Every structure is written in C-alpha cells, then in structure tokens.
Structure 1
Amino acid sequence: MQYDPNNSIKIPINTLSVGMFVTAIEDSKRVNLAHAGRVSSDKAISQLIKSGVKFAWVDKELSAKGSVFKPVVDLPEIEEPKSQEPTAPLKRKKRSRFSQQQKAQKIIRDAKGLAQKILSQTFDGKPIQVDELDDLADDLIESILLDSDALHCVSALRTKDEYLLEHSVNVATLLVTFGKHLQLPKETLKEMAIGGLIHDVGKVKVDDAVLHKPGRLTAEEFEHMKLHQVFAGEIIMKVAGLSDVSRDVCLMHHEKLDGTGYPNGLTAEQMPIHGRMSCIVDIYDALTADRCYKQGMSPAEAFKILLSLTPNHLDKELVYKFINCIGVFPVGAIVELSDGRVGIVWSSNQEEPLKPEVKCFYSRKYGRFIDVTMVDLKTSRLTIKKAIAQSQLEVDATRFFEA
C-alpha cells in the first residue's frame, strides 16, 4: 500500500482512532517513522499513549472513511539561546517582526494597487501622477531602512497571474535595497523606486497575445515586445515632475554595456550607475519568478546567469555587489539544510552570508511537515545544503511566509 507523505497531518495522540492510517509518531520532539498502516484496535492506541507518544502523523486519504481529524496548529517558535540569557529580548524581536511584516504586507498591497492603477490609467490615455508615486516610494524606503527582511520576505511570495504588478514592485524594492547597500543618497533611492514602479508601463500597449504567450516568442513577436520600451518613452515624456533618475531606470533596464540592448543601443559610457543597476535587478527578478511559460529558478541559479552576462551585457562589479547585497541565500528564499529540513531564509546575516536564520517547516528526510522552528545557522552545526526554487518544492510553502 503506497502513501503520499504530503497527505500526512499531525494530530494529538489522544485524538487517534481505529482505522486511521499512521505514517509516523513523535515522542518528546523526536519524530520516528512508524510501520505505516491502519490502527487496528483501541489497545494499540493505549499502548502508544503509555509509551509516551505525544503526536501521530496520519494519512487522510488512506484512513477509514468517517475518521475525524483534529490537526495540531503549529505556531512559530524561536530557537532557545545557547546561553542562560533572559528570553524576553527574543520575544520582543518576534513581536517586532510580526508588526513589521504586517506593515510590509500593506505596503506591497498598496504598491500593487497603485501599479494596477497606473497601468489602467495609462491604457486609458491618462497621465501618471508622480505625487502618488512619491508617497509610496517613501513608504518602501522607510520599510527597507527599518526592516528590509520583513519586506523581502513578503515580496518573495509570488503569484504567476500577477507577474506584471509583482515584478514592478519587486524591482522597485530591490533597487532601493541595492542603492542602500551602495550608500546612495536617500533622494536617489526614492527616484529609483519610482522608476522601478513604472519601468514596465510600456507593456500596456503590447498585444496581449504576445505579452501573455505561454511559450517562446517568434522573432517577429520579440521585435513587437521590444517596442514596449519605445511606448514607455512616449508615455513618460508626458509625466510632469519625473526625475532623470526615474526616467533612466524606466528606459535603460534593457540596455547592454556593449551597445546591443534596446531601445537606444546605449553603450557603457552612456549608462549611469542607476541605469546599470536596473538591468541587473530586472533580469534577476524575472529569472526567479514563475511565468505563464516557465517556472522560476532559485536565486543561486539566477546569480549564475547574471554572472554569465558579464562583462559584455552587465557591469561585473555591480553584479558581485548585488549578490553581496541581497545575500547568497536572500531573505524569502527556500533552502534545504544538511539535516533534510526545508525552510525559508527569515533573516539575513551580513557578517556571515552563508549562515542566515531559517524558518523550518518541512522535512525531506521524513517527507512531511514539521513543527515550525527557527534555526540560526550562526549558532548551529547545520549548514545550507542547497537553495530550492518554490516551483521545485514538493509542498506548498505559502502559509509559512507569514510571521
């Protein structure tokens, strides 16, 4: 009899009943694989309870019809400190992260809403209002300066059907983060954020059949797609109060240092730093996103492609700085640890980029969800085995991105 570990749920042992199909049991936080099979009698359940078993994993599909399941609701935990220091600071940190993530969720929602409004107004021939963009850019910058981890964790959760909106917001967010890392002036960060939010505005004039084609574009279709940058130039010419930096971000993100990009075939000498940054960020976010015609790749895979595009297309020094900025394992990335646990990179570690804090929720070793735990790799013997694209993970991780 075959069972799917993804169907297993964790229940208190005192709710186990005859006919349920058990796949594993837990005793004092130790998870043990069980001899998979249905519970045959109340006596068997009593024996498990007497043995100190606290929880059982059961397969709903293979359990007897009529079985009533009462899953354990796992709450996020903070790993206990190695020393005997008070735990109160850790609790305060947890509440702070929850608060910051709630705020980040609102910023992302507002940003996507404004991006949609801009696209709709542009489609109807109405001008973009820079004042609205100013306010949102200020919110993005404030959130990144206070707690960039929270914002990046929220923005890492992608929806294929909202690619255009999420891509615009993510490009703006990543540009601000990158600019902060390079210690650019706050006003420049704001101007780059605005440029990021509108950088794909020209796509409102691209044929929908081309824009949403679920496959490789023909040469003719690609030439049409490239026109979105020409359209963008026409659109932003009419925007009052838009800075040169914002215009450059919008119009240069498809240019290449060797002059083979579009729409203007600019060369390295003609591209300022913010223009070069927009090229890197745009490609990175596009590579890591699920699209109607492809699955997103892991950050590590995207970094390899970015490096392969240097020095002819992308600025090599800036690519390395970008990788250092967001980390080899960026916040929001999904990783597998050396013990088989899978989790979300929850907090970055600038001093030791290979040792971030990871929110673990699943075990590939046992093939099931586990109690949510925070693992700080700075103080753990565990290491990151590899990064995993969300599309490559065998379970849905969506709910674990919440604080």
Structure 2
Amino acid sequence: MIKKIPVAQIRVGMYVSDVNAGWMDHPFLRNSLLLEDQEQVLKIRRAGIREVFIDTAKGLDVDDVPTAQEAARSSQQDLERMAEAPENKAPPPRTSLAEELAKAKGAFNEGARLVRSVMDNARLGRQIEMESVKLAVEKITNSVIRNSNAMFTLRRLQQRDDYTYQHSVGVCAMLAAFAKAMEMDLATIHQVALGGLLHDIGYVRIHAEILAKPGKLTDEEYLHVKSHVVQGSDILHQTAGIPQLAFDIMEHHHERFDGSGYPRGLKGEEISQVGRMAAIVDVYDAITTDRVYHRGVNPGEAMRKLFDWSKYHFDPALFQIFVKSIGIYPVGTLVRLESERLGVVVEQREKNLLQPLVRVIYDAKRQYYLPPQDVDLSRPFGHGGGDRIVTHESPLKWGIDVNRFLS
C-alpha cells in the first residue's frame, strides 16, 4: 500500500516510493529509494521536502496516515473548488486554435533554435545578441496572447531531445500566459517572458559529464549543478539590455516560499513576485516532461502535485492565478469522463476550467479506441457536449500515446 506521510515520520527501513519533489529540489538521482541509513533521512529533511509517499509492501509502515489515493482525492477536490471561483468579466476574444497553431509552431521552433545559439555563444564567452532574443520573445508572447493553447500544445508535442532549449521556450510561454492572467501590461509581459527564455542559461557552465551522468550524483556534484543559478546571473550581468525582471526570474526561480530553496534561502515576499511565478512554472514544465531519468507526469496530476506543494513551497495566491492561466486539466491531460470514455484535453474554456474541449478517443469500459471526437464539455447534450470529467488518468496505465491525438 502506498501512503502519504509527513517527513517528520520517516525513518530508516521505510521505502520511499516518491520523494514528492521536482528533480532539482532533492539530492537523489531517482524519486524512489529504500532508506538504509540516517543520513538519507536527514538529506530528505534538509531538502525542505514536507511530505513523501512510502510503499508499505517494501518497507516499514506507519499508522493513521492517508493512503496515496485518499490524499490525491482530497487534494483534487480542493483544487477543483478553487477553480470554481466565478470570473466577473468576459474573457477577451482570441484566434482559433487551428489558426494559431501554424504561427505558434514557427515561434516555438525559432525560440528553441535561438536558445541553443545563445547557450553556444555563452559557452564560448561571446556576447548574447539581445535584439534577436527580444524579437523571438515578442513572437512567442504574441502567440500566447492570441491563443495560449497553441503554444502549450506544441510544448506537449516536443520530444525529450534538446530538453534544455525546449524547456526554456516552455517556461517563456507559460510565464507570458501567467503574466497576462496577472493583468500585467504588454511591455512587462515581454520582460517576464524574456526572463523565462534565459532562466537556465547558467547550465552552460555546468560540467557536461555531470549533467549526462547516469548514476547518482555526489553531494559535490549536486551542489555544482545547483550553481547554475549564480552562474547564469553572472552571464546576464555581462550582457547589456537585460531588464531587472529578467534578473529576478534568473536569480529566484529556485527559491521556495518557505525558505527551503536556493541559492539564498529567501522566504515569502523576500522573493520577487516574478521569481515566485517562475518557481511554479519551472517546476510544472520540468515534471511534465520526459527525461532520461524519469517519465513526465500527466499534466492533470502535475497540477494536483503543485497544489499540494503550494502549501509550503509556492505562493498560494499566485498558484491560484497560475491555475487560471493553464487550467485544472491543462492541454495534454488524459481524462476519464462520466460516460466511461477517455479523452485528451485540447483546449481550455476560460469561463469554466472544469469544462475544457476534450478529444474523446477511448472506451474505458470496453477497452477499445474510438474514432476521435471533439466534445466541448461547456455545452449541453445535442450541441457537441454533455459529459463531465470524473478524474485524470495515467497514459502509461492505459498504454495511450497522448501526443498522437494533439496534432
């Protein structure tokens, strides 16, 4: 049985099935491990992790704590209640998803190529060509403003090759959507998105053999990887034309609201507002993406995890706005409907985050694929809708390649 327990209750002999943190927020190569000595216990506590999942079939048990399913159900209900808060104003008009996809694809690919070029130049000690960077950021931002679903769809379709470059574009796009939801002006949105595009540039000074290491990192190697924040700040300080908001994102995106982050261990509002925003976005994009050392989680599951972490690591008020910018069930989430069909979320409905546009693809009861059909859950029966999301599902459990149904 999988249970969720506070870290105060972990002890040697337990099997941690999930350390319940993003990769860069814990010192272990993998998310699961048998606690064989007190030093491992202390490492988890020192990492600022508040709750972990244990497998009682593989290690010691503990009484009077919820199972993973019970904890997940409670969190999901709280998350959905949060999303039900009514909007007082009509959403602004936007271009259709089909119309925006082609423009978004060009902007996304140009952004990824540019990040690669910027990092190559930084590695060689060359200056960053800020005019090209700002132009690419404007294209990404403008696409997000017209219809953010297109850019989010493309991020889901990217493979894990060139992760750093595509992650940078993903964070750029999501920060633009986040800033838009915060009702920032266009010039500020561009500066925030610029910070997102450049936030990981410090990785060019991290030893390549450590980043590609297949085994467990030593404490020294882990500290070296975390130094990418100060290394990136140094690179940006040598570059003319970088706005302060971009510096804040670079320097604060690994700080945590409870003070458990790095490099400075800032707490609460000691962290800049855009830094607190970037922390949420960076973790969301990282945990939903396949990497060599882990499979990305379903976007709907990622939102539930971030909701739990927002009790400690993230600004809860900002997290609520982030949810409104990408949805309770973000693009690419596999969901189970009340009709016992499975579908992939392909577009948000801004007036109701619990009623997105879903591409129905599978009969879960009879276990066979259906001809893809788009169902707008905000509409009644007979008008292209008439169903309801029950929960999100694991694509791995069903053997479904979600990306096949997004393009």
**What TM-score, normalized to structure 2?**
0.71
Could you tell me which residue of structure 1 aligns to residue 329 of structure 2? 329
Residues 330-361 of structure 1 show CA distances to partners (whole Å, capped at 9, x for unaligned) of 12322232334333212211222111111223
CA distance in 2, matches of 1:270, 1:110: 35
Instruction: Tell which deviates more after alignment, 163-172 or 360-369.
Output: 360-369
Q: Report the 3-state secondary structure (helix = DSSP H, G, I; strand = E; otherwise coil) of the residue aligned with 1:263.
A: coil
Quickly say closer, same or farther: Cα 1:342–1:96, change in 2 above 3 A. same
Q: Report the 3-state secondary structure (helix = DSSP H, G, I; strand = E; otherwise coil) of the residue aligned with 1:161.
A: coil
Displacement after TM superposition at 1:391 (Å): 4.5
One-letter amino acid matched to 1:396: D
One-letter amino acid matched to 1:286: A
Quickly say closer, same or farther: Cα 1:401–1:214, change in 2 above 3 A. farther
One-letter amino acid matched to 1:149: N
RMSD: 2.1
One-letter amino acid matched to 1:363: D
User: Structure 2 matches for 1:129-278, cutoff 5 A?
Assistant: 129-214=129-214, 216-278=216-278
Quickly say closer, same or farther: Cα 1:395–1:309, change in 2 above 3 A. closer
Displacement after TM superposition at 1:390 (Å): 4.7
Matched, 1:306 2:302: no
Residues 191-240 of structure 1 show CA distances to partners (whole Å, capped at 9, x for unaligned) of 11111111111111212232133455332221111111121121111111
Instruction: Tell which deviates more after alignment, 385-394 or 220-229.
Output: 385-394
On the 8 A contact 1:156/1:333 being kept in 2, the answer is no
Instruction: Tell which deviates more after alignment, 109-118 or 359-368.
Output: 359-368
Instruction: Tell which deviates more after alignment, 104-113 or 295-304.
Output: 295-304
Residues 30-75 of structure 1 show CA distances to partners (whole Å, capped at 9, x for unaligned) of xxxxxxxxxxxxxxxxxxxxxxxxxxxxxxxxxxxxxxxxxxxxxx
One-letter amino acid matched to 1:325: S
Q: Report the 3-state secondary structure (helix = DSSP H, G, I; strand = E; otherwise coil) of the residue aligned with 1:160.
A: coil
The partner residue of 2:403 within 382, 389, 398 is 398
One-letter amino acid matched to 2:170: N
One-letter amino acid matched to 1:301: E
Quickly say closer, same or farther: Cα 1:194–1:329, change in 2 above 3 A. same
CA distance in 2, matches of 1:369, 1:312: 41
On the 8 A contact 2:257/2:267 being kept in 1, the answer is yes
Larger radius of gyration: 1
CA distance in 1, matches of 2:96, 2:245: 34
CA distance in 2, matches of 1:387, 1:290: 18
The partner residue of 1:384 within 389, 392, 395 is 389
Quickly say closer, same or farther: Cα 1:342–1:311, change in 2 above 3 A. closer
On the 8 A contact 1:296/1:389 being kept in 2, the answer is no
CA distance in 1, matches of 2:97, 2:265: 44
**Structure 1 unmatched runs, 5+:** 1-92
CA distance in 1, matches of 2:309, 2:390: 26
Could you tell me which residue of structure 2 aligns to residue 350 of structure 1? 350
Quickly say closer, same or farther: Cα 1:216–1:357, change in 2 above 3 A. farther
One-letter amino acid matched to 1:134: K
On the 8 A contact 2:299/2:331 being kept in 1, the answer is no
Q: How many positions carry a matched residue from both structures?
A: 309
Displacement after TM superposition at 1:311 (Å): 4.4
Could you tell me which residue of structure 2 aligns to residue 83 of structure 1? none
CA distance in 2, matches of 1:392, 1:238: 48
CA distance in 2, matches of 1:160, 1:387: 23
CA distance in 2, matches of 1:392, 1:253: 32
Displacement after TM superposition at 1:277 (Å): 0.3
Q: Report the 3-state secondary structure (helix = DSSP H, G, I; strand = E; otherwise coil) of the residue aligned with 1:156.
A: helix
Residues 99-140 of structure 1 show CA distances to partners (whole Å, capped at 9, x for unaligned) of 311111111111111111111111111121211111111111
On the 8 A contact 1:354/1:384 being kept in 2, the answer is yes
Displacement after TM superposition at 1:258 (Å): 3.4
On the 8 A contact 1:154/1:332 being kept in 2, the answer is no
CA distance in 2, matches of 1:100, 1:358: 18
Displacement after TM superposition at 1:385 (Å): 2.9
Quickly say closer, same or farther: Cα 1:304–1:395, change in 2 above 3 A. closer
On the 8 A contact 2:253/2:282 being kept in 1, the answer is yes
On the 8 A contact 1:342/1:364 being kept in 2, the answer is yes
